[in-house]
């Protein structure tokens, strides 16, 4: 079912791209837009993740350069039954994170230095589990390709005035078509982009809580991230707003409303859903016989860490 939704959403973005082409150049413009969209879909399938990582100046880390952070991701990937993703860090004070990649075998998870510095290891585990849930649900391909197409549609809309002003253009709607391309098409692309993010964040929250084992770790992390994100400017995200839906919390400064124009569900609603899930898990635990042997604590757990001074999950 997820594959069907993915195909429908990408088809919708392609149709929007063709619609912009029609508004600018009529039938001929629509054909050209279709060819460009098809080429972009193919290119994005193989390369969109690399483009997004470059846009945000992400740097790959390993067990030597970021031992605790890398160890947390390794343990969570094993718990989720996923291949080990590539692990990246973005030098940015805004606490945030995202995942990308066309499939679980080619996935990458990314955290900002702000997130690794401000959150406890338990909270980092909750966030990374959320991102691995996106990987497991195969959301990352759709989110990454949509970011590429949404950015292209917005760019094409910005060029509509210049492209539509030629006397040789085949636009049947004239100046109205150009105006629609400039305003309506990027707006429609934004709506589709938001729908993708908003409908999938709750699912990733729930699955992420199951992977890390404690919904309240993610709930606490969301509260901290949302509180800090609105007061910290993410310049790379501001330059590339089409990637905003990929982050766990909207990285664009000043966009906090939970309405039609929000790329993410309201943070408090997400926290409430996680708190309800925690209550369900506690009630279930009370009615279940204790296991013969206690579960081994993960590297994010205080019980699983040694007594030496903690340097933080970033290294």
Which residues are CB-contacts of 116 (< 8 A; sequence separation ≥ 6)? 66, 69, 89, 124, 312, 313, 314
Cα atoms in the Cβ-side hemisphere of radius 13 Å centred on 295: 8
Q: Three-state DSSP class for 100?
A: strand
Q: What is the CA radius of gyration of the chain?
A: 21
| 91 noted as active-site residue | no
Lookup: tokens for 272: 């409430």
Residues in the chain: 315
Contact 278, 216 (CB under 8 A): yes
Q: Which of 123, 131, 210, 280 is catalytic?
A: 131
Instruction: Spell out where the chain has E strands.
Output: 59-61, 86-90, 97-100, 108-112
- Start-to-end C-alpha separation, the chain: 40
Put residue 276 in one of left, alpha, beta given phi > 0 → left and psi -120 to 50 → alpha. alpha
Question: Where in the sequence numbering do the catalytic residues fall?
Answer: 131
């Amino acid at each position: 079912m997820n594959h069907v939704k993915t195909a429908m959403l990408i088809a919708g973005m392609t149709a929007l791209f063709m619609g912009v082409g029609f508004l600018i150049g009529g039938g001929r413009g629509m054909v050209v837009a279709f060819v460009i969209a098809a080429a972009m879909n193919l290119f994005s399938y193989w390369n969109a993740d690399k483009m997004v990582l470059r846009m945000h100046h992400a740097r790959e880390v390993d067990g030597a350069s970021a031992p605790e952070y890398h160890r947390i991701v390794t343990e969570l990937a094993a718990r989720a039954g996923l291949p080990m993703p590539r692990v990246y860090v973005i030098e940015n004070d805004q606490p945030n994170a995202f995942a990308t990649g066309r499939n679980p075998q080619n996935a990458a998870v990314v955290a900002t230095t702000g997130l690794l510095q401000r959150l406890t290891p338990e909270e980092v585990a909750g966030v990374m589990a959320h991102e691995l849930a996106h990987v497991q649900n195969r959301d990352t391909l759709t989110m990454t390709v949509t970011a590429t197409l949404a950015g292209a549609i917005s760019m094409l809309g910005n060029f509509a005035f210049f492209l539509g002003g030629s006397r040789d253009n085949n636009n049947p709607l004239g100046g109205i078509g150009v105006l629609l391309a400039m305003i309506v098409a990027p707006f429609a692309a934004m709506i589709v982009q938001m729908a993708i993010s908003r409908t999938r964040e709750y699912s990733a929250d729930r699955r992420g809580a199951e992977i890390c084992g404690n919904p309240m770790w993610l709930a606490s992390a969301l509260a901290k991230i949302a509180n800090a994100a609105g007061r910290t400017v993410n310049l790379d995200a501001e330059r590339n707003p089409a990637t905003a839906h990929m982050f766990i919390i909207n990285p664009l400064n000043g966009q906090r409303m939970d309405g039609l124009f929000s790329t993410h569900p309201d943070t408090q609603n997400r926290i409430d859903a996680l708190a309800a899930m925690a209550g369900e898990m506690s009630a279930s635990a009370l009615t279940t016989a204790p296991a013969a042997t206690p579960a081994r604590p993960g590297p994010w757990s205080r019980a699983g860490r040694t007594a030496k001074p903690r340097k933080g999950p970033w290294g």
